[in-house]
A = this chain, B = another copy of it.
Amino acid sequence: MTMITETAIEADPNLPIIRITRDFAATPEQLFRAHSDPALFAQWAGPNGTDTRIDHWDARAGGSWRYTAEHRGQVFAFRGCFHDVRPDRIVQTFTYENEPDSVALETLRFEDLGDGRTRLHARSLVDSFEARDGMLASGMETGVNDGYAKLERMLADGTV
């Protein structure tokens, strides 16, 4: 199986969904930890130069989370609830607090490829194609690519 070493960010043609796919030299357990442990998540999420502060984080089905991200002097706040927290899957809601009426349903899936490699499948479902295309146009690509590059380094140096 070919490794997806570049991050693939795709807009579904028929559904208001963004799909992100990325392979890591990591076990599913490591990717689960990187996404569920707040101290680890804060170290890699977002574009380079982001200072992520966890306000609240209760990673269990029925728990909730909130964090702020400071980047180039601006502070952005995000929040949501955890619907599912399983070793192979995290399902959560996601809102950028400046747009409180917009809610995405996010699903993270950790697919074991064997040989210490895992494919991350991340999916954001929203309620309109306009909202989905707005997310894609917002510069999310830089945050996603920078974030996964940081995560890759943390996996390589044993932080995760």
What is the bound-complex CA distance between A15 and B125, given in angstroms? 11
Question: Chain A's interface: helix, strand, loop or mixed, by majority?
Answer: strand
Q: How many copies does the complex hold?
A: 2
Check if A128 sits within 8 Å of B62, measured CB to CB. Answer: no
Q: Does A121 sit at the interface, judged by CB under 8 A?
A: no
Which A residues between 62 and 91 are near B, CB-CB below 8 angstroms? Answer: 62-64, 66, 79-84, 89, 91
| Complex interface: chain B residues within 8 A of A91 (CB) | 93, 103
- One of B15, B16, B93, B128 near A83 (C-beta < 8 A): B93
| Complex interface: chain B residues within 8 A of A81 (CB) | 61-64, 81-83, 93
Q: Does A151 sit at the interface, judged by CB under 8 A?
A: no
| Complex interface: chain B residues within 8 A of A105 (CB) | 93, 103, 105, 125, 127
| Complex interface: chain B residues within 8 A of A7 (CB) | none
Nearest Cβ on chain B to A43's Cβ, whole angstroms = 24
| Complex interface: chain B residues within 8 A of A30 (CB) | none
- One of B17, B56, B61, B64 near A127 (C-beta < 8 A): B17
Q: Does A95 sit at the interface, judged by CB under 8 A?
A: yes
A sample of 29 cross-chain residue pairs with beta-carbon separation below 8 angstroms, ordered by A number, consists of A14-B129, A15-B16, A15-B127, A15-B128, A15-B129, A17-B127, A56-B62, A61-B64, A61-B79, A61-B81, A62-B64, A62-B66, A62-B79, A62-B81, A63-B64, A64-B81, A81-B81, A81-B83, A81-B93, A83-B95, A83-B103, A84-B100, A93-B93, A93-B105, A103-B105, A103-B107, A105-B105, A125-B125, A125-B127
